[in-house]
Amino acid sequence: MHVLLIVMGCVVPLNKLIQLQFTGYRHSMSAQAFIMDIVTDAVMTAAAWGCFYLVRTGRFRPGVRLYLVVMLSAAALAYSQIGLERLTNDPFPLLLLGLGGLALGRRALWLVLAVLMAIFGLGIASDLAQHIARGPLQWELNNKAPMAVSYLIVGLMLDRTISALRQSLTESNARGQMLQVVNARLHREMEDRARAQQLLIHAQKLETVGRVAGGVAHDFSNVLGVILGYAQRRERLADSGTNALVDAMQGVEKAARRGMSLTGRLLTFSRQEPTRLEVLSVEEALRELWPMVGQLFAANVRVELDECDEPLSIRFDRTQFELLVLNIAANARDAMPNGGVFRMGAQRDEASNTVELVLADSGIGMSEEVKARIFEAFFTTKPAGSGTGLGLAVVNDLVSAAGGRIEVHSAPGQGTRFRIGLPCVRNRSGETELHA
């Protein structure tokens, strides 16, 4: 619409200047008709630029309506003075017909066509008056009737086209609304899935805390035994002097801090919190987690931590990292009913630029059939009431969400080894970052 109005605002005055300068247009009509032609062209030019401003400022339909009204009024004045014969090849009526239908709809199309037919009638009446004034009537319809019929045919074609376009637009809008509804439903389902994932992770935390609690209770009982032993020897310690009392109090403090550390780790781990990624040192995280992992196993299982030769860092949620390790350790405990060794360690894989976390046990191992399904949700080889079958499925989801990979190597009687590759985080100097 912008381009059309700019063209109309420029072409109409330029066309008139060319006609006045290089043709005998001025002398081919009466003075009254010439003045009317100049006035109508000036009005059409002003209307084009005025409506361009309205459309440009967002008032599209008012701008188009105003332009049509001005153009039809100017056409009525021109045809009533100049006549239909001289304006037979005028393209503006057809332009107005198409503009009204496409921009304003079918009702505007037929209204513009009716006005054009009336304007053509004015032109015919003007032609008749001019022929009568020049002498005997020798006027014929010539191509006037076919022109009117052609405009009617054009109007019908535009009407059918506009009807089809509006039907397509209605269907497109309906599909768009349906797509919005489906998109909103999908968004809600994604949110529900994210909430379910968080609840699942929290449930796994609580299940793991329940498994650790037995070992913590035993360890905490040892802490209380140390404190009670110092308390029972209070009289002898008092007789031994101040230094003995100070040493005893230091022993009590150390035992109490150990108990606080155990309970604090359990409370922090079991808390339901949103995912919070941070750059964490793998070897430091494993070292802090080592005592809690030890609580999962019986006394006949030895938990070993392989020291790393270099600092290794990953971007991971700390509590989810702990959940990952504890879930695998819990499965290792069930795989070693007669005791054994559970080993934790990490190393850097230069080829893939990943930190490879290795968690291995010396248990009963798995068959190929079991190994192929261990990451399926609710799949478990444990007896009823001994597990949910979700632990390793959660581990797989956590690793995948972090952009990592997980491999399992196991065979009956040969233990199980989990190799988890997680993207390595480095600082600007190329060294692995240590902390967030």
Bridge partners of 117, per DSSP, are: none
Q: Counting beta carbons within 10 angstroms of the beta carbon of residue 79, is it exposed (0 to 12), middle (13 to 18) or buried (19 or more)?
A: buried
pLDDT for the residue 38: 80
* pLDDT of res. 429: 44
Report, as an integer, the average pLDDT of 381-390.
Answer: 65
Whether 6 is in a domain gets the answer yes
Helix then strand then coil, % of the chain, to nearest 5: 65, 10, 20
User: Domain end: 140, 169, 187, which one?
Assistant: 140
Residue 135 has a pLDDT of 57
State pLDDT tens for residues 70-126. 888 888 877 777 766 655 566 777 778 878 877 887 788 888 888 888 887 777 777
Does the residue 147 lie in any domain? no
Residue 358 is encoded by which pair of tokens? Answer: 């290795």
Q: Average pLDDT, stretch 250-273?
A: 64
Q: Which of 117, 140, 163 is the last residue of a domain?
A: 140
Element housing 232 (H / E): helix 144-232
Is the distance from CB of 342 to CB of 360 less than 8 angstroms? Answer: yes
CA–CA separation, 29 and 19 (whole Å): 13
DSSP letter at 315 equals E
Q: Which of 6-10, 70-74, 211-215, 368-372 is the least confident region?
A: 211-215
Q: Across residues 211-227, what is the average pLDDT?
A: 59
From 112, 140, 168, the end of a domain falls on: 140
pLDDT of residue 255: 64
Q: Among 41-55, 207-221, 268-282, which is the least confidently predicted range?
A: 207-221
Mean pLDDT for 367-396 is: 77
Average pLDDT score over residue span 179-191: 87
> Which residue in this structure is represented by tokens 């999962």?
296
pTM, entire model: 0.47
Taking 80 as the threshold, does the pLDDT of residue 173 lie above it? yes
Mean of the per-residue pLDDT values of the chain: 78
Q: How confident is the model at residue 359 (pLDDT cuts 50, 70, 90)?
A: very high
More confident residue, 14 or 134: 14
| Strands of the sheet with 340-349, listed across from one edge | 301-305, 340-349, 354-361, 416-423, 405-410
403 part of a folded domain: yes
H helices of 23-59, in order, are 31-56
Cα torsion through 268, 273, 276, 281, rounded to 10: 20
Q: What are phi and psi of 263, to 5 degrees?
A: -65, -35
Q: Check whether residue 279 and residue 136 sit in a common domain.
A: no
Helices (H), 336-408: 368-371, 391-401
pLDDT at 432: 42
Residue at 241 is within a domain: no
Contact 198, 274 (CB under 8 A): yes
Question: Per residue in 304-348, pLDDT tens?
Answer: 999 887 889 999 988 788 878 888 888 898 889 888 999 999 998
HSE at residue 313, side-chain half, CA atoms within 13 A, is: 17
Backbone angles phi, psi at 351, to 5 degrees: -65, -40
Total domains, the chain: 2
Q: Which domain holds residue 369?
A: 275-436
| 2-16, 27-41, 316-330, range with the lowest pLDDT | 27-41
Cα–Cα distance, 330 to 293 (Å, whole number): 9
pLDDT at position 428: 43
* 429 found inside a domain: yes
Q: Would you say residue 309 lies in a domain? A: yes
* Residue 202 domain flag: no
At 244-259, the pLDDT tens digits run 777 777 767 766 766 6
Q: What is the CATH number of the domain that holds 294?
A: 3.30.565.10
* 186 vs 154: CA distance, rounded Å: 47
Element spanning 5, H or E: helix 2-22
Considering only residues 252 and 226, tell me which one the structure prediction assigns the higher pLDDT: 252
* Residue range 137-149, pLDDT digits in tens: 455 555 556 666 7
Q: Give the Cβ contact number of residue 159 at 10 Å.
A: 15
Within 274-339, strands assigned E span 277-281, 301-305, 313-317
Instruction: Give residue 74's pLDDT.
Output: 80
Residue 266 domain flag: no
- CA distance linking residue 159 with residue 140, whole number of Å: 31
